[in-house]
Amino acid sequence: MDKMGIEIKTVGVVGAGQMGSGIAHVSSLAGFNVRLNDLSEERINTGLATISDNMARQVSKGAISDGDRQKALELIRPALTYDDLSTCDLVIEAATENEEVKRRIFTNLCPSLRPDAMVATNTSSISITRLAAATDRPEKFIGIHFMNPVPVMQLVELIRGIATDDPTYESSKEFIAKLGKTSTVSEDFPAFIVNRILLPMINEAIYTLYEGVGSVEAIDTAMRLGANHPMGPLQLADFIGLDTCLSIMQVLHEGLADSKYRPCPLLVKYVEAGWLGRKTKRGFYDYRGGHPVPTR
């Protein structure tokens, strides 16, 4: 086999939530055939509806034409079982940020795939090498970490596990380029590059709130206008999901064993309360009214 690896034409996506539907969205717009899988047909249909709505928004902004949208939507097909992914050249897992769940998916998925098919994970923090070990093809396994929201964000982190071979890396890099996105390469250390820097900043913002240094409003305004961030760190935490923020901080804390990564107790408390941010209508802001109101 040459250094270039296989040409990717059909992409499978496991998980039709926010990230998975975004990956299916950009892949179909770039002309790839997409097979979208989730635990139930209902979830797949919800994902397809999200993609359709988001593309309609792009049409109304003039980013794509209605013809582009129609063509892209025709390229996405539901995959009700893993066997429906058997034609895929690359399958990207975009399930919840939980190592046990991801490992179980890979163990069950791999027998349905062609021997030459590549497998990727969209994890934002979990060891690629460890996840690869749950597959029958660690050399064809790679981390392809898209940023949220996928259609808008320009960056994709590529993370090689210890066994990832060159052809797999080259094929993945080419795939990202065809999506019109930019890839950076990260070593396989906890949380990679973006989240290794971003999440401790968010965690520090939560400590700043917890210690009473500033209110939610003061902290977010300070970072928006004082550091020129497009959104404040607490607003961003709500957008990411406080459960996801906590799980990434736990991966950093356990993986690097440094007390500077200790999750803020206030973050833990919000997650225990089920206040996970926008998706549950409450986090550092309350989203139940017309306008987000700080909860502290």
145 given a catalytic annotation:
yes
User: Cα(222)–Cα(293) distance, rounded to whole angstroms?
Assistant: 17
Write down the catalytic residue from 27, 93, 125, 145: 145
272 given a catalytic annotation:
no
CB 103 within 8 A of CB 136: no
Four-point Cα dihedral 69, 75, 81, 87, nearest 10: -150
Write down the catalytic residue from 21, 27, 28, 124: 124
Residue type, 118: M
Write down the catalytic residue from 122, 171, 183, 195: 195
CB 277 within 8 A of CB 294: no
What's the CA angle centered on 263, arms 262 and 265, to 5 degrees? 115
Give which of 209, 186, 208, 210 is closest to 196, Cα–Cα.
Answer: 186
Write down the catalytic residue from 157, 171, 172, 203: 157
User: Cα(281)–Cα(190) distance, rounded to whole angstroms?
Assistant: 29
157 given a catalytic annotation:
yes
CB 150 within 8 A of CB 124: no
Catalytic residues: 124, 145, 157, 195
